[in-house]
Amino acid sequence: MAYIAVLGHGVVGSGVLEVLTTHTESLKKRAKEELIVKHILDLRDFPDLPYSDIFTKDFNKILNDPEVQIVVEVMGGLHPAYDYVKACLENGKSVVTSNKELVASKGAELLRIAQDNNLSFMFEASVGGGIPIIRPISQCLAANEVSEIAGILNGTTNFILTKMIREQMNFGDALALAQQLGYAERDPSADVEGHDACRKICILASLAFGTHIYPDSVHTEGITKISLEDVDYADVWGGVIKLIGSVKMLENGQVHIMVCPMLVHRGSQLASVDDVFNGIMVRGDATGDVVFYGKGAGKLPTASAVVADVIDCVKHFKTRKYLFWEDSKENYVADFGSMETEAYVHVAGETGDAAFTAAQALFPNAKRLLPKQPVDGEAGFTVSGLTEAALKEKLVALDERGVRVLNCIRISDY
């Protein structure tokens, strides 16, 4: 028998209990041991549940229970989640978490503690919800050198963009609808500003390349500035706008990592990832591009990923699991300004023609895009073959010449 404690009985926590109680027999068969939830930590009371009697408000009851071998942390947030997880690992308990903030901020430290104590620290559910991605990267692709990862990692923004693309709903209305449907929170900034996607690409990058990348070292842009005109220009260009988290290993050993909206070609596997779905492309030297697709969030998908980790933990009590990466090092993330880029630029001037002519003076190789529904005084064009710093500088210069830059969206090559 394997005794488990669950920290947090919110959406994911209650889902974990649901999966554990509805699949008891098949889980027992797969784990080769019975899985028993002994404690659930939550500050609230849940008097009407069949398992009401195992709730506790005292974390130390869990920490000091020698029978508990696995602690499932599904509280979210950094504190007290971090403190609890650290204490568990230091006290001989393996930990499974769905908490991407925790893994992105403290992964290297917690993996080190787990290793020192010969325990597992697992987090399949922290990226891509129910999509298996952590394990395939670390294990199935073990015989590959991963060179690049790019993904639609946030379901909320993908839902909003899908509504903008498919139904010409503007950003504000699409966000309001997402909130109404429970896909977006009242304060949607973690999603729409790209912070959630940033944590996830940091976790994937740390795992794939073996060195921790902290979210604050990543150039991150959200989708709040995207207009229906941009959607139209993307269509004319031949694709759609998606919020992409990407990381690429450069030849000098540095990584190019960023989160930003990107134009994705219609033929790309990522272009057809719609609504709240996630899609993650892993590029390996031997496998080529492999794409994982599925629901990136939600109670049961996330809970099933947590429980799969629990099963793996139980099967590996005697041998610590394979996940590991080193702490960050200096100059590991490449300077964003020096990266070469390709982008679509949306500008406004006295007339569209005048704005484009002014742009051409700065971007000699600019290619104009002609939208299906032109807006007076606006123009759109693509530029390539310059660095991020040069692009930024030229956009400022454009503004100084009286041409307003409405948006600038990078172009992906996948």
User: Where in the sequence numbering do the catalytic residues fall?
Assistant: 200
- What is the token pair recorded at 372? 């299906």
| 25 contacts: CB under 8 Å, gap ≥ 6 | none
Nearer to its own copies, 139 or 360 (CB): 139
Site for its own copies contains 34 (CB under 8 A)? no
Considering only 53-61, 238-246, 266-274, 365-373, which stretch makes contact with its own copies by CB under 8 A?
266-274
Query: What is the separation of C-alpha 340 from the centre of its chain, rounded to a whole number of angstroms?
Result: 23
What is the distance between the terminal CA atoms of the chain, rounded to a whole angstrom? 47
Q: Site residues for its own copies, window 86-145 (CB under 8 A)?
A: 124, 129-132, 135-136, 139-145
Nearer to its own copies, 166 or 404 (CB): 166
Q: Which helix (H) or strand (E) holds 14?
A: helix 11-22
Site for its own copies contains 167 (CB under 8 A)? no
Nearer to its own copies, 16 or 366 (CB): 16
Among 26, 180, 331, 373, binds its own copies (CB under 8 A): 26
Q: How far is the CB of 270 from its own copies (least distance, A)?
A: 10
- The amino acid occupying position 171 is F
| 76 contacts: CB under 8 Å, gap ≥ 6 | 8, 10, 12, 98, 99, 101
Q: How far is the CB of 387 from its own copies (least distance, A)?
A: 31
Among 3, 28, 30, 217, binds its own copies (CB under 8 A): 30
Q: How far is the CB of 347 from its own copies (least distance, A)?
A: 33
| 180 contacts: CB under 8 Å, gap ≥ 6 | none
Whether the upstream peptide bond of residue 80 has omega within 30° of 0, thus cis, is: yes
Nearer to its own copies, 80 or 136 (CB): 136
Considering only 171-179, 186-194, 212-220, 300-308, which stretch makes contact with its own copies by CB under 8 A?
300-308
DSSP bridge pairs for 383: 343
Per-residue buried b or exposed e for 37-64, using 16+ beta carbons within 10 Å of the residue's own CB: bbbbbbeeeeeeeeeeeebbeebeebbe
Nearer to its own copies, 140 or 236 (CB): 140
Q: How far is the CB of 158 from its own copies (least distance, A)?
A: 14
Q: Tell which phi-psi region holds residue 265, choosing left (phi > 0), alpha (psi between -120 and 50) or beta.
A: beta
What is the C-alpha to C-alpha distance for residues 197 and 233, in angstroms, rounded to an integer? 24
Q: How far is the CB of 355 from its own copies (least distance, A)?
A: 36
DSSP bridge pairs for 150: 246, 281
> Is the separation of the CB atoms in 266 and 231 below 8 Å?
no
Number of residues that bind its own copies (CB under 8 A): 52
Site for its own copies contains 78 (CB under 8 A)? no
Nearer to its own copies, 310 or 383 (CB): 310
Among 3, 23, 90, 176, binds its own copies (CB under 8 A): 23
What is the C-alpha to C-alpha distance for residues 190 and 187, in angstroms, rounded to an integer? 8
Q: How far is the CB of 212 from its own copies (least distance, A)?
A: 17
Nearer to its own copies, 137 or 383 (CB): 137
Site for its own copies contains 311 (CB under 8 A)? yes
Site for its own copies contains 149 (CB under 8 A)? no
Considering only 105-113, 174-182, 269-277, 404-412, which stretch makes contact with its own copies by CB under 8 A?
269-277
Site for its own copies contains 272 (CB under 8 A)? yes
> Is the separation of the CB atoms in 68 and 93 below 8 Å?
yes
Among residues 14, 20, 7, 30, the alpha carbon closest in space to that of 307 is found at 20
Binding stretches for its own copies (CB under 8 A): 15, 19, 23, 26-27, 30-31, 124, 129-132, 135-136, 139-145, 267, 269, 272, 274, 284-295, 298, 300-301, 303-308, 310-312, 315, 319, 322
